[in-house]
Copies of this chain bind each other. A is one copy, B any other.
């Protein structure tokens, strides 16, 4: 009965072509890229074209106390955007315009639905650079990047999404509009609600506009690779880079399982004795970049590595190809599930060996690639989805890797977020007092608990 009333209100409030109840379309929009999660049954999908439509939906949702699941490109890996029972899927992918590029102040004002790559290309035309570069940048949206505080390969030098957010426009649970932050690069007027909202996975409000800080365009990077006969040697090289006070613009790691995968899929031809590969870049430009690469080379060799230096950007991309193609390579061996743990930088060896040991214990293939400079790794679990026993072991292994990350002083997620997949481990990481504060902060923004309920943490049972 309520359902009919909600739908009637939505039909009345929204123009044609915005509201959908077609079961096939609802099914498509009820999932994101997370594995092992069961979406609920959505009531309706709204593909909003502007902020006022988002506000209208939230007013109706508040009136009827209906759950709302905010969505963008649905490229998330943690299930933050999947349907819950009886929900309105509130999708902002059509709100994908850049509203302003302010070159003198190095900022962009954008709607949330734009893809990261489209925004990056648009600002690049003005000599500007938006650093956060998740691997999914060609098909993930800025709104999702904001909601999960996305990282990427650039983080080791340029930080993560939250470091670039100056201000937000947010539709609150009751449909009112909240503006946070400002257009200036500094500002301490009141609480930093902006950075509280970044990473909150749609549980505090719906981002309808963002003001993002930009950097001047970087120089074309120079690239170097180091091939190692042991994980320990590669880890020693990473530590030595840090100890030398260097800040590479990229510092990536691949383990032997990842090397095997790219060898088989793309005939990369890494030799058998190579147990780990490091890739580093410098975008310092000119002589400074060349000096950086020479210093990397010296450090990589001192740690026992065989060094390959790219002579130009094209050759650099060829070196990086192995890293970029590793996920595709794994897909040849089954269904893949990409984990995301972050440990203190100096625990690289413990993490990689720990994962390798777990892979043996659970008899599931796992490759470890990751952002070595940040201690942020993506162990990729590879399994046969038609083998229910292996699938169960894969799922347990996925969780065991997060527990390993916690034991090493790390976090269960460095950039993918909690969503629904990691909800059981959040309390273990943040503790009881923090969980209570999370619930109180959530209630401050969303007293009825209608915004993305059951994501990030569970509501208290009533």
A residues sitting closer than 8 Å to B (CB atoms) are 102-106, 127, 148-149, 151, 155, 159-160, 162-163, 172, 176-180, 182-193, 195-196, 198-200, 215-217, 239, 242-247, 284-288, 291, 342-346, 371, 374-376, 409-418, 422, 426, 429-431, 433-434, 437-438, 440-441, 443-445, 456-457
Contacts and interface: CB of A to CB of B under 8 A. Distances in A.
Nearest to A190: B430
B376 A433 contact: no
Nearest to A213: B159
Contacts of A415: 186, 188
A188 B414 contact: yes
A417 B189 CA distance: 6
List the 3 closest A-B pairs by CB distance, nearest first. Answer: A216-B245, A440-B444, A195-B195
A217 to B, nearest CB: 6
30 contacts: A103-B243, A104-B242, A104-B344, A155-B186, A162-B192, A162-B195, A163-B163, A172-B433, A183-B409, A185-B376, A186-B375, A186-B376, A186-B411, A187-B342, A187-B411, A187-B414, A188-B414, A188-B415, A189-B422, A190-B429, A190-B430, A190-B438, A190-B456, A191-B196, A192-B199, A193-B438, A196-B441, A284-B288, A288-B288, A443-B444
A8 to B, nearest CB: 29
Contacts of A411: 182, 184, 186-189
B441 A189 contact: no
Contact of A190 (B342, B375, B426): B426
Contacts of A192: 149, 162, 195-196, 198-200
Contacts of A187: 342, 411, 413-414
A200 B371 CA distance: 32
A191 B438 contact: yes
A376 B184 contact: yes
Contacts of A155: 185-186
A445 B436 CA distance: 10
Contacts of A215: 247
A246 B285 CA distance: 12
A445 B440 contact: yes
A32 to B, nearest CB: 16
Nearest to A373: B185
Given A239-B104, A434-B179, A191 B186 contact: no
A348 to B, nearest CB: 10
Contact of A176 (B159, B412, B433): B433
B185 A431 contact: no
B416 A180 contact: no
Contacts of A177: 433
Contacts of A199: 188, 191-192
Which of A127, A187, A371 neighbours the largest number of chain B CB atoms within 10 Å of its CB? A187
Contact of A149 (B182, B188, B246, B430): B188
B418 A190 contact: yes
Contacts of A172: 433
A183 B344 contact: yes
A180 B105 contact: no
Given A103-B243, A196-B195, A189 B429 contact: yes
A434 B176 CA distance: 10
A375 to B, nearest CB: 6
A105 to B, nearest CB: 5
A186 B159 CA distance: 8
B188 A417 contact: yes
A105 B444 CA distance: 36
